[in-house]
Amino acid sequence: MLKLKSTLLATLLFFAFAPAAFSQVKEKPVTDTTITEEVKESALDNIPVVSLDDNDGQDGSAQNISGQLNAGRNPFSDAANFHFSAVRFRIRGYDADLNSTYINGAPMESLDNGFTPYGQWGGLNDVLRSKESGLGMQSLKFSFGNIGGATSIDARASKQFKQTKISYSLSNRNYVHRFMITHSTGFNKKGWAFSFSGSRRWAEEGFTDGTYYDGWSFYTGIDKKFNSNHMLSFVVFGAPTENGRQGASTQEMDNIAGSNFYNPYWGYQNGKKRNASIAKTFQPVGILTHDWKITPKTSLLTAASYSLGNRSTTGLDWYNAPDPRPDYYRYLPSYEEEPVLAAQILNALQNDVNKRQINWDALYNANYANNQTIHNVNGVSGNDVSGRRSVYIVEERVVHTNKFNLNTTLNTSINSHIDFSAGASYESQRNNYYKKVNDLLGGAFYVDVNQFAERDYGVNSNATQNDVNKPNRILGTGDKFGYDYNINIQKATAWAQAVVKFSKLNFFVGVEHSYTQFWRVGYTRNGLYPDNSYGTSKRQDFYNYSAKAGVSYKLKSGNYFFINGSYLTKAPFFENAYLSVRTRDFVQGNLRSENIESVEGGYVLNSPRVRFRATGYYTKFRNQLNVITAYSDIDRTFVNYALSNIGKTHAGVELGVDVKLYKGLSLNAAAAIGRYYYDTRQNVVVTSDNNALVLPSNDPTIYSKNFRVATPQEAYTVGLNYRSPKYWFVNVNFNYFDQMWLGFDPLRRTAAAVDGLVPDSKEWRKVIDQTELPAQSTLDAFAGYSWLMNNRFKSLKKRTFMTFSLGVNNILNNTNIVTGGFEQLRFDYQHLNLDKFPPKLFYAYGLNFSANIGLRF
């Protein structure tokens, strides 16, 4: 499986990473700036992974929003990645699949959705500091790049500082304690370098009620320098983590609970808080890298990586039983029309925490009392099983991933004017999706059956079986059920780029071709789609290409104008191709690649006193696809909305400035002003999990034009830093966010949704208009001090530092910042009552801090 392809031995001198005048290369950090980075990184590391699923059908796209790890040392990226992260700001409004990340030359993004899985290396900040990155479409040496930018992290053992570091942090965010230890040796005389890092992050309860955190991380790196031309590096790292999650809820429920941080996922069991939704992940990665300096002007970096592991989420599942979720809309006062009763319900919820949270006792007792006999178990006639049949269980939805990559990059200087880069890669990923019984909650068994089909087709129909090959299966703890299928994805890419440099003018041009293929293999024969669920599906394949070019003109050293443009096609992700991937292999009708065209231009000024960057960009997306699955109250089953013809326009301006005012005092400011909106009328095809009929929809057009992409579209920050020559620093920033919009429910913007309403009337607008969230502001402050202990403890042989730092975010404790959420994909067509299914919202933490103490020697 791990194919050791490279047998060429070479060493590339570390300093061959000579910074070209126009690329943003990160210099070796000096001690005190490392503290700042550490403080900032520990904040980013500690922001929760929140999933935005409508909790009924989705697996939850666990997008870790900790952003790029300080992508570039330009004044805009610094601010954007750190000060804007609390509101889940996305640079240029792009989804995370438009940024690429490489570690030691191996591409890290998941082929599922293109996101970079930061969780795979959480807690390993110490060894991931050495990076090179580019924002936007500038030319890069390590990759063809992506329109949002790309980052290459060099985590090889020889790139780590030869030192030992021990640190401890205390905070009140996702986790409370973090203990980290790192040791690196640098090259020894025999050409070996070793590095090791480990960390432990944990919390009994995080910022939000009912969440806990339990994480470990480890990293080991070994380098061997064979001679000045060949170096071989091996790293293996992983971060097994388990944490209790928080869920979004409606404002009504938040008000009843008295807090915007109400978490519906937990409840008391025997006096202890128990969270029903626990996320577990452990996907270690091994990367073998060969660095070959073929000639002083030509180098070849080849990396092979392999990763495997599971990530899973638990949740409650129930069969013919009352909804166990405490914030189910029927349990709330708003469901009751009679005002006296509604007041009584409100009172009952406010006074009893067990009514606001999951009532575990009731779930167990329902299972204790449910004695039942299941007939014809496993399809064997007369095989009856009797006992306590659970009506509530905790299920665990698992994704098991195997991923293999091989990537090689060539860099050469043809002459003093022309640099040429090229690369090729092969990526292969196999995801196995299944769910299993995690806890029977006091019952003796559960049964593998589809209750929605039972209601529609009767108890005895084959349609109710999740697996016709094994009907009426009795499930114990740990048994798989419901669905079991693989998605296989393969991608091969080749690219080439030429950069031409003159004294004032530089330009580059690059092309990339790729071939992507994916297919589904089902291991269960679903009773509703017996001919389309079991076995191997048709393979979908896509040929894609991308071209980019740019010009920059240097005014004088450090100042230049630039303009870059790119046109590409992109294969769809399988999540957006399969209509209802758990039950069948049907794909969207017009499955095709999307088109992206983008252009950016700007001005960069780097002088000793002032660093300034201004960029304008315009990007257009066409023919995108998306599939959303949610539970429909009207049809009382899971419904899939397959959207196509999605088009978006993103345009805006990014400004960043860093000015040294006086001695150690400097001013930083950044602004991101953008307009991101959908510019087509999308098409929708609605199917339900219970049958393959297209649900009646007279006009399947979604009137989505000019709806905003849900991300803050304007963000500003201004701050002051003071860096003292006595090795301490202080920084205060004020941030302001505006034009924040909530994602919209496509079905509410159809002709059917406003049928009968007068166009442009108040009611009509109420249904159609998108929810804008109010503008928000926050205040952050950081301070740190680095103490050279040798001055006091003369006996110390090596330079020993002790560092202290404190970072406080949202000092003003603004608890009204909606960072995200979703309109519920349920709409009350009967009464057109928008308040029946109000949006579910996530809020940013109130005042949160992180205090660090570290020892370095």
Partner 1 sequence: MKKFLKLSFTAVIVILAVGSISSCKKNFDNPPAYVDPNLVANTTIKSLKALHQTSGAFDAVSTDIIISGIVVANDKSGNFYKEIYIQDATGAIALELDATNLYTAYAVGRTVFVKCNGLTLSDYHSFPQLGMKDNSVPGVPSLGGIPSTLISTYVFAGASGNAVPVTVVSNYAALNSSSGNAAMQDTLLGRLIRLDNYEFTKSNLSQTYADTSAYKNSINLTINNCSGNSLYVRSSGYANFAGLYPVAGNGSIYGIYTIYKASSSSTPDKQLIIRDTSDVQMTGARCNLFEEDFGALTTADNNTDFAFSGWKNIAPNSTANYKNSVFGTTGKVVKVTAFGTALATDTAWLITPAIVIPAGATPKFSFTTSYQFALGPTALHAFISTNYNGSNTPGTATWTQLTTNTMIPGNTATNNSSSFSPFAGTGDIPLNAYAGQTVYIAWKYIGSVPLKTTNFEIDDIRITRQ
The correct pick among 194, 420, 849, 857 for binding partner 1 (CB under 8 A) is: 194
DSSP, collapsed to helix, strand or coil, labels residue 252 as: helix
Q: Cβ of residue 530: shortest distance to partner 1, in angstroms?
A: 23
Determine, following the binding rule CB under 8 A, whether residue 449 of this chain makes contact with partner 1. no
Give kind and range of the element (H or E) at residue 454: helix 451-457
Residue 775 is classified by DSSP as P
Q: Per CB under 8 A, which region of 317-325, 411-419, 533-541, 666-674 contacts partner 1?
A: 317-325
The correct pick among 338, 693, 698, 759 for binding partner 1 (CB under 8 A) is: 338
Determine, following the binding rule CB under 8 A, whether residue 360 of this chain makes contact with partner 1. yes
Report the C-alpha gap between 5 and 302 in whole angstroms: 9
CA 314 to chain centre: 18
The correct pick among 56, 336, 575, 679 for binding partner 1 (CB under 8 A) is: 336
Q: Cβ of residue 204: shortest distance to partner 1, in angstroms?
A: 6
Determine, following the binding rule CB under 8 A, whether residue 366 of this chain makes contact with partner 1. yes
Q: Per CB under 8 A, which region of 53-61, 87-95, 209-217, 652-660 contacts partner 1?
A: 209-217
Report the C-alpha gap between 49 and 210 in whole angstroms: 15
The correct pick among 280, 355, 470, 675 for binding partner 1 (CB under 8 A) is: 355
The correct pick among 164, 259, 402, 413 for binding partner 1 (CB under 8 A) is: 164
Q: Cβ of residue 127: shortest distance to partner 1, in angstroms?
A: 13
Write out 701-752 in H/E/C secondary structure: EECCCCCECCCCCEEEEEEEEEEECCCEEEEEEEEEEECEECECCHHHHCCH
254-258-262 Cα angle (round to 5) = 45
Cβ proximity to partner 1: between 332 and 642 the closer is 332
Amino acid at 382: G
The correct pick among 331, 518, 837, 845 for binding partner 1 (CB under 8 A) is: 331
Q: For residue 444, give the nearest of 369, 375, 374, 390 by alpha carbon.
A: 390
Q: Cβ of residue 290: shortest distance to partner 1, in angstroms?
A: 22
Report the C-alpha gap between 265 and 267 in whole angstroms: 7
Q: Per CB under 8 A, which region of 55-63, 185-193, 626-634, 789-797 contacts partner 1?
A: 185-193
Determine, following the binding rule CB under 8 A, whether residue 272 of this chain makes contact with partner 1. yes
- Judged by CB under 8 A, the chain residues 427 through 446 that form the site for partner 1 are 442
CB 450 within 8 A of CB 530: no
Q: Per CB under 8 A, which region of 330-338, 531-539, 656-664, 770-778 contacts partner 1?
A: 330-338
Dihedral sign computed on CA atoms, order 566, 545, 286, 294: negative
CB 789 within 8 A of CB 842: no
Report the C-alpha gap between 508 and 500 in whole angstroms: 6
Neighbours of 606 (CB within 10 A): 17
341 φ, ψ (degrees, to nearest 5)? -65, -40
Buried b / exposed e along 306-339 (16+ C-beta atoms within 10 A): bbbbebbbbbbbbbebeebbbbebebbbbebeee
Q: Cβ of residue 789: shortest distance to partner 1, in angstroms?
A: 19
Q: Cβ of residue 332: shortest distance to partner 1, in angstroms?
A: 8
CB 194 within 8 A of CB 222: yes
Cβ proximity to partner 1: between 82 and 196 the closer is 196
Say which residues have a Cβ less than 8 Å from residue 757's Cβ, sequence separation at least 6. Answer: 763, 764, 767, 832
Report the C-alpha gap between 402 and 435 in whole angstroms: 17
Q: Per CB under 8 A, which region of 134-142, 360-368, 636-644, 775-783 contacts partner 1?
A: 360-368
DSSP, collapsed to helix, strand or coil, labels residue 345 as: helix
Give kind and range of the element (H or E) at residue 687: strand 682-688
Identify each DSSP E strand in 528-636 by its residue range.
535-536, 540-556, 559-570, 594-606, 610-632
- Judged by CB under 8 A, the chain residues 25 through 64 that form the site for partner 1 are none
Determine, following the binding rule CB under 8 A, whether residue 265 of this chain makes contact with partner 1. no
Total of residues contacting partner 1 (CB under 8 A): 50
Q: Per CB under 8 A, which region of 110-118, 358-366, 626-634, 774-782 contacts partner 1?
A: 358-366
The residue with tokens 């990014």 is: 654
Q: Cβ of residue 110: shortest distance to partner 1, in angstroms?
A: 28
- Judged by CB under 8 A, the chain residues 368 through 407 that form the site for partner 1 are 368-370, 391
Q: Cβ of residue 163: shortest distance to partner 1, in angstroms?
A: 11
The correct pick among 122, 198, 482, 854 for binding partner 1 (CB under 8 A) is: 198
Cβ proximity to partner 1: between 314 and 717 the closer is 314
Determine, following the binding rule CB under 8 A, whether residue 269 of this chain makes contact with partner 1. yes
CB 448 within 8 A of CB 490: no
User: DSSP letter string over 319-339?
Assistant: SSS----TT-GGGSGGG--SH
By residue count, the chain amounts to: 857
Q: Cβ of residue 438: shortest distance to partner 1, in angstroms?
A: 12
Report the C-alpha gap between 75 and 612 in whole angstroms: 7
Supply 487's token pair.
């998605």
Q: Per CB under 8 A, which region of 183-191, 232-240, 546-554, 744-752 contacts partner 1?
A: 183-191
Q: Cβ of residue 217: shortest distance to partner 1, in angstroms?
A: 10
Determine, following the binding rule CB under 8 A, whether residue 364 of this chain makes contact with partner 1. yes
Q: Cβ of residue 102: shortest distance to partner 1, in angstroms?
A: 27
Q: Cβ of residue 205: shortest distance to partner 1, in angstroms?
A: 10
Cβ proximity to partner 1: between 460 and 706 the closer is 460
Determine, following the binding rule CB under 8 A, whether residue 212 of this chain makes contact with partner 1. yes
Q: Cβ of residue 221: shortest distance to partner 1, in angstroms?
A: 11
Q: Cβ of residue 184: shortest distance to partner 1, in angstroms?
A: 9
Cβ proximity to partner 1: between 320 and 706 the closer is 320
Q: Cβ of residue 328: shortest distance to partner 1, in angstroms?
A: 9
Q: For residue 323, give the nearest of 272, 283, 366, 259 by alpha carbon.
A: 366
Cβ proximity to partner 1: between 87 and 366 the closer is 366
Q: Per CB under 8 A, which region of 17-25, 357-365, 685-693, 843-851 contacts partner 1?
A: 357-365
The correct pick among 8, 9, 13, 362 for binding partner 1 (CB under 8 A) is: 362
Determine, following the binding rule CB under 8 A, whether residue 836 of this chain makes contact with partner 1. no
Q: Per CB under 8 A, which region of 4-12, 62-70, 122-130, 264-272 contacts partner 1?
A: 264-272
Name the pairing type of β-strands 298-318 and 278-282: antiparallel
- Judged by CB under 8 A, the chain residues 213 through 242 that form the site for partner 1 are 214, 216
350 φ, ψ (degrees, to nearest 5)? -70, -30
Q: Per CB under 8 A, which region of 31-39, 353-361, 565-573, 703-711 contacts partner 1?
A: 353-361
User: DSSP letter string over 571-598?
Assistant: PPPGGGTBSSTTT---B-TT---EEEEE
Residue 449 is classified by DSSP as B
Cβ proximity to partner 1: between 155 and 301 the closer is 155
Cβ proximity to partner 1: between 81 and 370 the closer is 370
User: DSSP letter string over 114-181?
Assistant: S---GGGGTT-GGG---EEEEETT---SS----TTEEEEE---GGGS-SSEEEEEEEESSS-SEEEEE
- Provide the binding-site residues for partner 1, judged by CB under 8 A: 164, 177, 179, 181, 183, 185, 188, 192, 194, 196, 198-200, 202, 204, 212, 214, 216, 269-270, 272, 274, 320-322, 330-332, 335-336, 338, 341, 344-345, 348-349, 355, 360-362, 364-366, 368-370, 391, 442, 458-459
